[in-house]
C-alpha cells in the first residue's frame, strides 16, 4: 500500500499524488502522532532552547506542512471533494492547535526559559521568539480555566468553520454569475483582449463556436473579465447590471454571507472579552506594530483629511469631463471606472489596452528578475523541471545569491482559473528556512506566488494590464522577504513573526519599481516585434500614476475604517447592523452614496476569511514604511547604479534578511537610519508637492 502523501512531512509536497479521499485519514494520522509527541514533550520538558523551542518547532512544522498542502490546494484547485475533506478535518486541527496554545507545561517552560541565566545569552531573534511564544499562549487562552476555556475553544472551532464557509460562498457566488452577450452592439468599446477572453470563456461554457469577432461573449465577475468590462463597456445599462451583481455577491439565497458576518463579529467580540480585552480590535493590535486603536485612527484621519477634499475635486472634474462627452452630469457608481478610463486616455493619450502588448508575462518576469539582480545581487532561473506541480500552468524557479549558491525556490501560479481558484493574489510559505543544528545544513525556503491575471488566449502569451504587473511585483516583494531571510529559526525566518501591519512593507516597496524609468523600459517589450515601449508611452504612464489617486486612497481608508469600527465599537446583536456601521463610515469616506443593496461586507474576504480582521489598515500603515524605504533610493539617485546597488544590499541585509527576528521599527530604522515619515507616501500619491 502506498504511503499517504500527507505523512511524508518534509520536502516539496507531491501535489499531483494527493487524492482528496486521503486528506481525512492522512490528517487524522498526523494528529495522532503529534498528540503522542506533544504529551511526551510536556512530560520531559527542559526549559532551554534545545529542550523546548527546537522540538516544539519541529512538531509544529510537521502539522504546518501537511495541513498547509490541504489549504494551498483549497485556494488553487478547489473541488467539492477537497472541500468536504477539509471541512471534516478542520475541527480536529483547530482542537490540536488549541491544545498546543493552552499547554500549561509549555507555557511554564517558556516563562522559566525567559527567567533563566541562559536567556540573556540567546541572540535577539531567539529572545523575540520566546517573548512571542509567551504572548501567543496568553492570547490563545492559556490563562483560562473550566467553562471559560471550553467556551473559548468552541469559539475557535466555529470561527474556523465560518471563515471557510465565507470564502467558499464568495468563490461560488462569483462563479455562479455570468452575462452572455450575442449582440455586437452590447460589446461596443470592449478591447480585443477582453473579447478574446470572453469568447474563450463562452467556449468553456458550452458555446464551442464562439469567436472574438462573432461572439457569443461571456462576461463574468472574475477580475480579468469584470474590471476591463467596467472600464470599457459603452453600454451603461450593462455596466449597471454587472456592477449590481458584483456588489451583491454572496448576499442572497444559500450563499448569503450576511448571517456569517454578524456571527463572526459576535464571536470575535466574545473571544476578546474572555481574554480581558474591551473589543476585538484591542486583541488584534496586541500583536501588531501600531500601539493602539487611537494611533490607527490618527493615521487614517491624517490621510483622510488630506485626501478627501482632493478626491471631491477629482470627482467634480470627472463629472465635468463626462458631461462634456454627453454623459448625464450625475455619475453613478457603475460610471466611475468607465469615465476615469476615458479621462485618463484624454489627459495622457494612451489606453491600458495599447500597453498590454508590451507586457507579456515572460518579458515582465525577465524585467522583474533583472531588477532583483540589480538591487539585491540575486540571480533567478528556472528550477528543476521535475519539481511537483498542481497545474500545468505553474512554473518553478530557483534563486542564487552572488556567490552562485542556491538560497531559495518559488512557485508561480499566475493565471485566473474560474471555478477552482480563489480570486485575488497572495504569497504563502511552502517551506520555511531553517538550519539543522546537528548537521549545520540549511533548508532553503520555498514560496508560493499566486496571481489571477489574464490567462494566455489562443496562441498569445498572457498580455498583462499594468495593474497586473504591479500585482506581480507586489507578491514578489512578499516572496523576497520569505526567500532572502538569513534567520535560522523557523519561527522568525522570512515572513514569520513579523507584525501584520509591517508585513506589506517589501511588497508595496516593490510596486514602486514599476514606475522606475530603467525598470519600466527594461521589461516593456512588444510580444510580437520585441520593440521596446516607446519613450513617450513610458512618460505618459509615469505621468498618469497619480490620476485620481486621492479617490483611490479614500477607498482604502474607507475599507480600513469600516474594518476598525466593526471590531472596535460595533456591538453585534444591537439595534444597528454591520452594514449600517459601514454606511455611517461612508458619510465621511465615500464620495457617492452607497446603493441600498450594496453588500460589500458579504465578499470582504480579507477581514472575514483572511488574516486582516481589525488589520486592514495595515496596507496604509505599511505603505508609509514602503514609500519611505523607496525614498532612500530616490535620495541616493535612481540613475546612480552604484548607489542603487549599495542601498539595495542594505535593504536586503536588514528588511529582507532579518525577517521577524527583530521588531519592525528597529528593522526599518536599521535600514533608513531614522524613524519612518508619512511625507514620501503623500508625495508619491501626488497629495503634497515634493
Helix (H) or strand (E) holding 435: strand 434-435
Q: Beta-carbon neighbour count of residue 382 at 10 Å?
A: 10
Q: What is the DSSP letter of 16?
A: G
Q: In this structure, are residues 656 and 629 in contact, taking their beta carbons and an 8 Å threshold? A: no
- Active-site residue numbers? 475
Which of 250, 296, 291 lies closest to 565 in space, CA to CA?
Answer: 296
Backbone angles phi, psi at 35, to 5 degrees: -60, -45
Helix (H) or strand (E) holding 531: none
Q: In this structure, are residues 361 and 461 in contact, taking their beta carbons and an 8 Å threshold? A: yes
CA distances from 301 to 268, 561, 628 (A): 25, 9, 19
Q: Catalogue the long-range contacts made by 78-86 (C-beta closer than 8 Å, 24 or more residues apart).
A: 78/168, 78/171, 78/419, 78/420, 78/421, 78/422, 79/20, 79/420, 81/20, 81/21, 82/20, 82/23, 83/168, 84/20, 85/20, 85/21, 85/23, 85/24, 86/23, 86/164
Q: In this structure, are residues 371 and 472 in contact, taking their beta carbons and an 8 Å threshold? A: no
CA distances from 343 to 56, 417, 548, 685 (A): 58, 32, 10, 18
Written as nine digits, the cell of 127 is: 529572545
How far is Cα 141 from Cα 154, in angstroms, rounded to an integer? 12
How far is Cα 266 from Cα 262, in angstroms, rounded to an integer? 6
Written as nine digits, the cell of 480 is: 523576497
How far is Cα 438 from Cα 71, in angstroms, rounded to an integer? 31
CA distances from 531 to 10, 392, 521, 524, 526 (A): 45, 29, 10, 9, 5
Q: In this structure, are residues 507 and 474 in contact, taking their beta carbons and an 8 Å threshold? A: yes
> Which region, left, alpha or beta, applies to residue 497 given φ > 0 means left and ψ of -120 to 50 means alpha?
left
Which of 300, 235, 171 lies closest to 559 in space, CA to CA?
Answer: 300
Q: Which residues contact 499 (CB under 8 A, 6 or more apart)?
A: 287, 288, 289, 663, 664
Q: Which residues contact 552 (CB under 8 A, 6 or more apart)?
A: none
Q: In this structure, are residues 186 and 116 in contact, taking their beta carbons and an 8 Å threshold? A: no
Radius of gyration of the chain (CA): 25
Written as nine digits, the cell of 568 is: 472596535
Burial class (CB in 10 A: 0-12, 13-18, 19+), 134: middle
Amino acid at each position: 500500500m502506498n504511503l499517504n502523501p500527507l505523512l511524508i512531512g518534509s520536502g516539496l509536497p507531491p501535489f499531483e499524488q494527493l487524492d482528496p479521499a486521503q486528506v481525512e485519514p492522512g490528517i487524522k494520522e498526523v494528529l495522532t502522532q503529534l498528540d503522542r509527541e506533544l504529551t511526551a514533550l510536556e512530560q520531559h520538558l527542559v526549559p532551554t532552547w534545545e529542550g523546548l523551542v527546537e522540538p516544539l518547532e519541529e512538531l509544529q512544522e510537521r502539522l504546518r506542512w501537511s495541513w498547509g498542502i490541504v489549504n494551498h490546494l483549497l485556494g488553487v484547485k478547489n473541488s467539492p471533494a477537497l472541500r468536504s475533506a477539509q471541512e471534516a478535518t478542520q475541527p480536529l486541527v483547530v482542537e490540536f492547535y488549541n491544545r498546543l496554545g493552552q499547554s500549561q507545561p509549555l507555557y511554564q517552560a517558556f516563562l522559566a526559559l525567559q527567567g533563566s541565566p541562559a536567556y540573556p545569552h540567546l541572540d535577539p531573534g531567539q529572545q523575540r521568539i520566546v517573548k512571542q511564544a509567551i504572548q501567543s499562549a496568553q492570547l490563545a487562552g492559556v490563562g483560562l480555566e473550566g467553562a471559560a476555556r471550553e467556551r473559548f475553544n468552541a469559539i475557535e472551532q466555529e470561527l474556523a468553520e465560518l471563515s471557510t464557509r465565507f470564502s467558499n460562498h464568495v468563490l461560488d457566488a462569483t462563479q455562479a454569475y455570468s452575462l452572455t452577450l450575442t449582440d455586437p452592439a452590447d460589446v461596443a468599446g470592449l478591447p480585443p483582449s477582453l473579447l478574446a477572453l470572453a469568447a474563450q470563456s463562452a467556449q468553456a461554457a458550452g458555446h464551442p463556436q464562439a469567436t472574438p469577432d462573432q461572439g457569443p461573449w461571456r462576461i463574468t465577475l472574475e477580475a480579468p473579465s469584470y474590471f476591463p468590462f467596467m472600464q470599457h463597456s459603452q453600454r451603461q445599462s450593462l455596466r449597471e447590471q454587472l456592477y449590481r451583481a458584483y456588489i451583491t455577491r454572496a448576499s442572497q439565497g444559500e450563499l448569503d454571507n450576511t448571517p456569517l458576518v454578524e456571527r463572526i463579529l459576535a464571536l470575535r467580540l466574545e473571544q476578546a472579552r474572555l481574554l480581558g480585552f474591551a473589543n476585538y480590535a484591542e486583541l488584534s493590535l496586541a500583536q501588531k506594530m501600531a500601539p493602539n486603536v487611537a494611533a490607527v485612527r490618527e493615521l487614517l484621519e491624517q490621510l483622510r483629511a488630506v485626501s478627501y477634499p482632493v478626491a471631491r475635486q477629482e470627482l467634480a472634474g470627472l463629472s465635468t469631463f463626462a458631461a462634456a462627452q454627453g454623459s448625464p452630469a450625475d455619475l453613478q457608481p457603475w460610471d466611475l471606472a468607465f469615465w476615469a478610463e476615458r479621462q485618463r486616455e484624454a489627459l495622457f493619450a494612451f489606453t491600458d489596452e495599447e500597453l498590454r502588448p508590451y507586457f507579456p508575462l515572460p518579458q515582465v518576469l525577465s524585467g522583474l528578475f533583472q531588477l532583483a539582480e540589480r538591487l539585491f545581487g540575486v540571480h533567478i532561473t528556472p528550477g528543476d523541471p521535475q519539481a511537483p506541480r498542481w497545474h500545468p500552468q505553474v512554473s518553478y524557479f530557483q534563486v542564487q545569491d552572488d556567490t552562485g549558491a542556491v538560497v531559495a525556490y518559488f512557485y508561480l501560479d499566475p493565471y485566473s482559473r474560474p471555478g477552482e481558484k480563489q480570486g485575488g493574489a497572495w504569497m504563502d510559505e511552502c517551506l520555511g528556512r531553517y538550519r539543522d543544528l546537528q548537521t549545520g545544513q540549511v533548508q532553503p525556503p520555498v514560496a508560493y506566488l499566486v496571481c489571477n491575471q489574464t490567462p494566455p488566449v489562443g496562441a498569445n502569451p498572457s498580455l498583462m494590464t499594468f495593474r497586473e504587473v504591479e500585482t506581480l511585483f507586489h507578491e514578489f516583494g512578499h516572496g523576497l522577504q520569505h526567500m532572502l531571510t538569513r534567520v535560522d529559526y523557523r519561527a522568525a525566518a522570512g515572513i514569520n513573526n513579523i507584525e501584520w501591519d509591517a508585513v506589506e512593507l517589501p511588497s508595496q516597496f516593490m510596486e514602486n519599481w514599476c514606475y522606475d524609468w530603467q525598470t519600466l523600459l527594461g521589461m516593456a517589450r512588444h510580444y510580437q516585434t520585441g520593440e521596446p515601449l516607446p519613450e513617450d508611452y513610458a512618460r505618459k504612464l509615469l505621468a498618469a500614476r497619480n490620476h485620481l489617486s486621492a479617490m483611490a486612497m479614500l477607498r482604502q481608508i474607507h475599507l480600513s475604517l469600516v474594518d476598525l469600527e466593526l471590531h472596535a465599537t460595533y456591538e453585534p446583536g444591537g439595534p444597528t447592523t454591520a452594514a449600517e456601521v459601514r454606511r455611517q463610515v461612508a458619510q465621511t469616506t465615500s464620495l457617492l452614496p452607497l446603493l441600498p443593496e450594496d453588500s460589500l461586507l458579504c465578499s470582504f474576504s480579507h477581514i472575514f476569511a483572511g488574516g486582516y480582521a481589525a488589520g486592514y489598515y495595515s496596507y496604509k500603515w505599511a505603505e508609509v514604511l514602503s514609500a519611505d524605504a523607496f525614498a532612500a533610493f530616490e535620495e541616493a539617485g535612481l540613475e546612480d547604479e552604484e548607489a542603487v546597488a549599495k542601498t539595495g544590499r542594505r535593504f536586503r541585509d536588514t528588511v529582507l534578511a532579518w525577517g521577524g527576528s527583530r521588531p519592525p521599527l528597529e528593522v526599518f530604522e536599521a535600514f533608513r537610519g531614522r524613524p519612518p515619515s508619512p511625507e514620501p507616501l503623500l508625495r508619491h500619491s501626488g497629495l503634497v508637492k515634493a
